[in-house]
Structure 1
Amino acid sequence: MPVIREHGIEAERQGRVPRETLRRLDRAGVFRMAVPERFGGLDLSLERQAEVVGRIAGACPATGWNMTVWLTGALIAGLYPDKAQKEVFDGGSVRVSLGFATTGRLTPVEGGYRLSGRWGYNSGCHAADWDVLGAVLERPDGTEEEFFALVPLTELSIVDDWDVSAGSGTGSATTVAEDVFVPAHRLIGYDASLTGETGERWNAQVPGRGYGAVAFIMSLYASMALGLARGALELFFERLPGRGITYTDWDDQRRHPLVQQQVAAAANRIEAGAALTDRVIALLQERADAGERPTDAEKAQVRGRTAFAGDLAKEAVQLLYSLSGASVLKRSVPIQRYHRDILGFTQHALAHPLPNLEMQGRVLMGLAPGSYIL
């Protein structure tokens, strides 16, 4: 992890995760975590994957963010027919990016479909082997149906338009498909893929792994955000020895009561978020072990609790940043990057606390969640 942390500033400069970071993670087996055992993968539980993602995010927030995407992409790839799974997983180690938005168009042709479209915010696409892309198919009667198309990155082009103030190292550029042929076995229904129910269940799902894509990625997101906050706390402690408070008589920042209170508040926010996330993961594992799906109300609770946990992580980092003095503005001081990244991550449409808390609040008061992205 120290090497990955050292490469964090390089990730920001390059606008993507550096090759050396990818090489070390690959050697450690992290890209095999969500790969089925029958293809040489580790098939780890959500709890184990979340723990690893948190540790990675503590070393490099951008890499931790990408891990949430690549692992979710691999989870969804496991819902395709066996023929597609073999194509994706045969090497045992794989990175699958994910374009949630249905901004592509599908046209039926013999043996499959033609896909065209653009997918912005496609995190980790530069380093991905495959991309799961949302697309719309128009039926002869004029009705439309949404699908996820599974496409090798070699058949897509990437527009390097990722020029941002936060999450720069995630490389969340735009991918483009121009009349790309997608065989029929590389297409699954959008709604079914989010819930983990893909008709015939070609993958003969392993007991205990049917989490559902949205609940899965939200659990990883919360774990990533909390790992990032723990990393910021470690960095704060590393800078403490010998630090005073400029233009005051305080020559040891540790002895100031306000600093003590704020550091405790930051640490408690992290632990509170972790407790919430642990409850979510335990619920999802309980349902998966029983071969059941969480109810819509439970899935809305998952979204609310994980987004709230992510917001607690953000607040913890904000407290630590505010205690770090003007020197934290230097790009060579990592906390400023952790601060910018967590502010950016919590702005994501799927992670933003307000709509997620709205869904949770609705079900707590006996209403429908108000979204099918559960």
Structure 2
Amino acid sequence: MTTFESAAPGVLDAVKEIVPALRSNGLETEKQRKLPDENIALLEKAGVFRIAVPERFGGLDLPVAEQAEILTEIARGDGSSGWVSMVWVSTAWIATLYPDKAQEEIFAGGSVRISGGFTPSGTLKEVDGGYILNGTWRFNTGVGGADWNVHAAMVEREDGQHEELFAIVPRADISVADDWDVFGASGTGSATSTVKDLFVPAHRVVDASVYDASTRDRWNADLNGRNYNLTSYILATCAPVYIGLAKAAVEIFAERTPGKAVAYTEWTDQAQHPHTQIQLAVAANKVAACEALAEKWLSVIQGREDAGEKLTVEEKATIRGQVGYVVQATKEAVETLYAISSASTILRSNPFQRVFRDITALSVHGLLTPVSSLEAHGRVLLGLEPGTDYI
């Protein structure tokens, strides 16, 4: 058995042990509008920030299915911690697409937290040995607690053509605004980041062709089978956050409901009410259905990689559509339980209301919104082009 295969259960068990602490810290996470140092330390100790780091740098280099299982558990404890962990882990995987020299710098510690601003709202100017980076990026999740950050920016070539490039820079070279003030996913610290006149060496800048993975030319493509399609991999690591939040909702509701009277009725125990029982079962089965969909697409992603094949357009569109459906179905599951919860649910001390707000906020993420994702899937089912490059 290889190192990465034996390491996954240990990380997963460690994460399960800290779920209560992450949930208990939920209110403080919201107050700080970023992950508290305690949460980061707990996740670090559990090994979370090593799961996508290459083995040659002391990482665990876990397969995507095992990464997803770990991220689900983190989100079950706290949605913001799950979302930030997803960003830091998935962007660490993205860093494995960079040249060896960059990887040696980025992964020097074996455990790393990498955030990213992928809207090209910056500029790069080519100079001797690299580029000068300027720009501002909004909604940059986890940038305040990161070690490195990826910035998408446009460069104008000598022939007048513009090209999108991706520069990875140390967190110490980034200014972070105190402008993250939202009603849900408050602890993600998705603040605005700014870089001014920063020199970025050429080995830390790649173009979009490098981001088109599944090319078999990465150093570990034939070693550990991690040469995934980029968008499908990102989607497969985002979905666990929604599943984890919905699982938390089912768990919290089931724990809190027995013995509670239904206000202004003769029902002294809501758990005895058939409507409660039915709605809880509906919610639980929506979550289970989402887990089954995830298991299928994770198998497809890994199966194609193990065979040295690219995902087909149909498979990529299906993954995006099904992830969109998971976002929709998990949100519906949480809403179903919220609708039959007691008035005390709205207290900020009650973790259920935080789950409700987190999943509502995260459901409008541009890449994850159900409408766009299902549209791409439906187009391909009808024999049309997907209508987006993001599959």
Band of TM-score, shorter chain? over 0.9
In structure 2, the residue matched to 1:107 is: 125
Contact persistence 1:137–1:145 (CA under 8 A): yes
In structure 2, the residue matched to 1:148 is: 166
Contact persistence 1:82–1:203 (CA under 8 A): no
In structure 2, the residue matched to 1:342 is: 359
Go from structure 1 to structure 2 and tell me whether the alpha carbon gap of 1:92 and 1:12 turns closer, same or farther (over 3 Å shift).
same
Distance in 1 of aligned mates of 2:135 and 2:80: 26
* Bigger mean CA deviation after superposition, 344-353 or 320-329: 320-329
The number of residues matched between the two structures is 373
CA RMSD of aligned residues (A): 1.4
Contact persistence 2:174–2:194 (CA under 8 A): yes
Distance in 2 of aligned mates of 1:82 and 1:351: 32
Pick aligned residue for 1:81 from 79, 99, 102: 99
User: Could you say what secondary structure the match of 1:83 adopts?
Assistant: helix
Contact persistence 1:75–1:213 (CA under 8 A): no
In structure 2, the residue matched to 1:286 is: 303
Distance in 1 of aligned mates of 2:180 and 2:120: 20
Distance in 1 of aligned mates of 2:229 and 2:178: 31
* Bigger mean CA deviation after superposition, 276-285 or 137-146: 137-146
Alpha-carbon shift at residue 8 of structure 1 (Å): 1.4
Q: TM-score, normalised by structure 2?
A: 0.93
Distance in 1 of aligned mates of 2:234 and 2:116: 11
Q: Say if 2:350 is the partner of 1:372.
A: no
Distance in 1 of aligned mates of 2:178 and 2:91: 21
Q: What letter corresponds to residue 150 of structure 2 in structure 1?
A: V
Q: Say if 2:239 is the partner of 1:222.
A: yes
Contact persistence 1:321–1:339 (CA under 8 A): yes
* Bigger mean CA deviation after superposition, 168-177 or 210-219: 210-219
Q: What letter corresponds to residue 121 of structure 1 in structure 2?
A: F
Q: Say if 2:179 is the partner of 1:161.
A: yes
Go from structure 1 to structure 2 and tell me whether the alpha carbon gap of 1:303 and 1:126 turns closer, same or farther (over 3 Å shift).
same
Contact persistence 1:135–1:147 (CA under 8 A): yes
Q: What letter corresponds to residue 111 of structure 1 in structure 2?
A: G
Which residues in structure 2 correspond to 1:1-374 (within 5 Å)?
1-195=19-213, 197=215, 201=218, 206-374=223-391
Q: What letter corresponds to residue 350 of structure 2 in structure 1?
A: V
Distance in 1 of aligned mates of 2:155 and 2:231: 22
Percent identical pairs in the alignment equals 47
Alpha-carbon shift at residue 194 of structure 1 (Å): 4.3
Go from structure 1 to structure 2 and tell me whether the alpha carbon gap of 1:113 and 1:260 turns closer, same or farther (over 3 Å shift).
same
User: Could you say what secondary structure the match of 2:344 adopts?
Assistant: helix
Deviations 1:172-203 (A, max 9, x none): 001101011110001111243143549x6466
Q: What letter corresponds to residue 85 of structure 1 in structure 2?
A: Q
Go from structure 1 to structure 2 and tell me whether the alpha carbon gap of 1:180 and 1:206 turns closer, same or farther (over 3 Å shift).
farther
